[in-house]
Amino acid sequence: MQRSLTEAPRAGISLPELTIPLTPTLIISTAIATRDFTPVHHDVERARAQGSKDIFLNILTTVGLIERYVTDWTGPCALVHGIKVKLGAPAYAGDTLTLSGTVTEATGPEFTIDVCGTVSLGAHATATVRLALP
């Protein structure tokens, strides 16, 4: 989906969906990369002992995937000014995360994208991302 915008986005534009298979390797490696050693992100038995059906994404990975999603669409020159994320359903290993987004505000080079990340259980994350083009 990598692209580079040639003009400022307009409100109402929808971004193409991005689907990400949530493999155990992705979940474990990104937890380790973000220095999150909480067992629910890498140990299936400990996750189940705490009431989860499997290991699941940590919040830092979710935020990173949302940022990747919008910057893949805008291109590498976009400046991220802020991300607000609300978590919902867990994103378990073996599921698929589907990201979708819509430009909701646009003023000159600054714009806002509302992003929704869904898994089979429903909304995993809803986010508002504020960006600007140089």
Which pLDDT band holds residue 6 (cuts at 50, 70, 90)? low
Residue 30 pLDDT more than 80?
yes
Residue 116 pLDDT more than 70?
yes
SS (H, E, C) 63-126: HHHHHHHHHHHHCCCCEEEEEEEEECCCCECCCEEEEEEEEEEEECCEEEEEEEEEECCEEEEE
Report the pLDDT averaged over residues 94-105. 98
Report the pLDDT averaged over residues 15-20. 98
Residue-wise pLDDT for 43-88, tens only, equals 999 999 999 999 999 999 999 999 999 999 999 889 999 999 999 9
Which pLDDT band holds residue 9 (cuts at 50, 70, 90)? confident
Greater confidence (24 vs 134) lies with: 24
Distance CA 127, CA 10 (A): 18
Distance CA 7, CA 5 (A): 6
Residue 3 pLDDT more than 60?
no
pLDDT at 2: 47
**What contacts 96, CB < 8 A, 6 or more positions away?**
19, 20, 21, 22, 119, 120
Average per-residue pLDDT for the chain: 94
Report the pLDDT averaged over residues 121-133. 97
pLDDT at 4: 54
The b/e string for 12-44 (b: 16+ C-beta within 10 A; e otherwise) is eeebeebebebeeebbeebbeeeeeeeebbbee
